[in-house]
A and B are shown apart, each in its own frame.
Chain A
Amino acid sequence: MTSPATAGSLIRVLAALRGVRDPELDEPITSLGFVTSATVSSEGAAQVRLRLPTYFCAPNFAFLMVADAYDAVAALPGVRRTEVVLEDHFASDAINGGVAARAGFARSFDGEAVGELHELRADFLRKAIMAGTDQVCRPLLDAGADPAALLELTLGEVPPSAALERLRQRRAELGLPSADDAPLVIDPATGARVSAEAAPLHLRRARTTRISLESNGSICRGMLRRRYDVPGLGEEEP
């Protein structure tokens, strides 16, 4: 039987998992349907089971999701022991064992990796920022804004939206300017304002990046649905 205290812990675990993203798709693992189950015992032992759209999803991204889920849950007050299990994946054993042992990626895949995944994560944050730039700029362009005028805008001058908040967060994560006075359109590699000359191509690329990420997400959702009949915890269509 679930006690009120356990139920409270479970809600906190789910909230924590909502903060864990698939770095490739830049979406929470919950809404993607990747969380099979989550439980917390009265002794504070949390167990999370994760699943992915295919048996062969890239092991580096899978590792990041399992490790991030572990960190997010283990940091919660009242959680004394954490176990995160990735199911039905070719590298489940290496990933689950490596994360449980806090071994890092290179040690978990001994001889098959030379480094950790920080650079990979940063590369995909830059993609998320490009995609996010389109998500924020497109409504402005559709409303008649001149592309050149977008370059003059700061983050603080853009009407508030979930997309804007997300863009700010991604930029902050990468250590890029994210305060109200920061330019809306920047080069995610350098943080510099994009020049008028470079802007059309930059915005075009932002759009392509967004379509790529969203299309991948739609394929992943379709594959997950073929693989598992039951929706994941917190799963939702975008």
Chain B
Amino acid sequence: MYEKNGEKYFVVDGHMHYWNAAPDNWVPGAEQYAKGWIECFHAYQGLGPPATHWTLEHFQKYSEDDLMKDVFEDGHVDVAVFQPTYLKEWYKEGFNTTERNAEMGEHHPGKFVYNTRFDPRDGDEGLEHLRRNVDRYGSTGVKLYTAEWNAGSRGYKLTDPAAYRFLEAAQALGIKNIHVHKGPTIWPLDKDAFDVADVDHAATDFPELNFIVEHVGLPRIEDFCFMATQEPNVYAGLAVVIGGLMHARPRFFAKVMGELLFWVGEDKMLFGSDYAIWEPKWQVEGFVDWEMPGGEEFTDYPRLTAEGKKKILGLNAAKLYGIEVPAEYQLKDGGTPGAQEVLAGQPEEHAVSGA
């Protein structure tokens, strides 16, 4: 929890990790990818405030104690959602798996939500694994990294028939939340791997599932916005938006926030620190202090109040994951956190300003 100016914020970190990317975990023959991946992540950390930068060695492998201190003790987070990314072609034990996350989380009851994952290319064995993980860890969410390399394939779309089979199975197992993380590769490679059109189709075909698009579809924010505004069950995951822009490029941060508030709305935006890329402390504190700047470029963007920030920092995710929030952290006016509302993309119902 975080308190500032008499306002109390219940914080759910909707996107964070516990990884091992040290050389001892690199797959022989794939070292360059394992190294390239973690160095790329480490460069992203460089977009945060200098005082929060880590050495590469520490960044490759941090301890349970580091995580508990950075996220909960210092970072103001009440509940954190583990989002696994396997990458077993590059990391022997996986980059950060459901198993590794849960093994650590079991020492800290009530602090974590264990999302799991699936890969539609894993067939029956993958389905069985999903079933086992849901059973064992009570997962109600999955993280899908569509650019994962798997047996010669460089990625998949949510509209692949195999993906639909997994989505159906996941729904039957009680999964509610699908976190979609796009990356730079896909099959076939001549298509735009970041395209979010497949999420649009899947969201329409699975109306009972929530689709949280991580890093708001970056680098396709515009496609994400135009899609999310028309799909009541599509949400914006703010990982990378706050971490990558708020400190490094504050004016672009304000514009991207303005666009998201306009197209998606504060009921459907979820904070995620992307720890250990960035620590939550500076992100939570900076976001609570943040205001839409003055000036012509920003005048017609919706404003964000303390109540809106409460939703984004925790109440929306709490709703999606059924996390209990103490009364003192609830919205004063009740509000509609996590609401499946359709916003501005329906021009016949909403006035859209041309300016």
Contacts and interface: CB of A to CB of B under 8 A. Distances in A.
Interface string B5-42: 00000000000000000000000000011001101100
A43 interface: no
Nearest to A210: B222
Contacts of B191: 60, 120
A79 to B, nearest CB: 29
Interface centre among B185, B193, B222 (most CB of A within 10 A): B222
Interface in B36-94: 36-37, 39-40, 43-44, 46-47
B354 A215 contact: no
A223 B190 contact: no
Interface centre among A24, A123, A204 (most CB of B within 10 A): A204
Interface stretch (B133-141, B251-259, B281-289, B303-311): B251-259
B188 A115 contact: yes
B352 A120 contact: no
A227 B353 CA distance: 40
B213 interface: no
Given A141-B355, A211-B259, A223-B47, A112 B187 contact: yes
Contact of A56 (B47, B184, B194): B184
A106 B188 CA distance: 9
A196 to B, nearest CB: 10
A200 interface: yes
B56 to A, nearest CB: 11
A211 B252 contact: yes
B47 A227 contact: no
Contact of B184 (A57, A201, A211): A57
B222 A60 contact: no
Nearest to A208: B222
Given A56-B37, A218-B252, A222-B249, A203 B354 contact: yes
At the interface, is chain B mostly helix, strand, loop or mixed? loop
A90 B218 contact: no
B219 A208 contact: no
A114 B190 contact: yes
Nearest to B241: A215
A147 B255 contact: no
A222 B355 contact: no
B220 A226 contact: no
Interface residues of A, number: 48
Interface in B224-262: 225-226, 244-245, 248-249, 252, 255-256, 259
Contacts, number: 130
Contact of B185 (A58, A216, A218): A58
A127 B222 CA distance: 9
Interface in A188-209: 199-201, 203-205, 208-209
Interface residues on B, range: 35 or more
B252 A56 contact: no
Contacts of A211: 221-222, 252, 255-256, 259
B189 to A, nearest CB: 4
Given A58-B185, A204-B352, A208-B259, A226 B190 contact: no
B190 A215 contact: no
Contacts of A173: none
B233 to A, nearest CB: 21
Given A56-B40, A200-B354, A218 B46 contact: no
Interface string B166-189: 000000000000000001110111
Contacts of B122: none
Contacts of B225: 208
Contacts of A59: 184-185, 189
Given A56-B36, A90-B32, A205-B226, A215 B255 contact: yes
Interface in B82-141: none
B43 A226 contact: yes
Contacts of B244: 219, 222
Contacts of A72: none
B160 interface: no
A204 to B, nearest CB: 5
B334 interface: no
Contact of A212 (B36, B47, B221, B354): B221
A111 B187 CA distance: 10
Contact of B192 (A114, A123, A225): A123
B188 A222 contact: no
Interface of B: 32-33, 36-37, 39-40, 43-44, 46-47, 152, 154, 183-185, 187-194, 218-222, 225-226, 244-245, 248-249, 252, 255-256, 259, 263, 296, 344, 347, 352-355
Given A215-B218, A219-B244, 5 more contacts: A56-B183, A58-B184, A212-B219, A216-B219, A219-B249
29 contacts: A24-B219, A55-B36, A56-B40, A58-B185, A58-B192, A60-B192, A60-B193, A109-B189, A111-B152, A113-B188, A147-B354, A199-B354, A200-B347, A203-B354, A204-B344, A205-B222, A205-B226, A211-B222, A212-B222, A212-B259, A215-B218, A215-B245, A216-B219, A218-B249, A219-B47, A219-B244, A222-B244, A222-B249, A227-B43
**Shortest beta-carbon contacts, A-B, top 10:** A147-B354, A55-B36, A226-B46, A226-B43, A212-B221, A200-B354, A58-B184, A212-B222, A216-B219, A113-B189
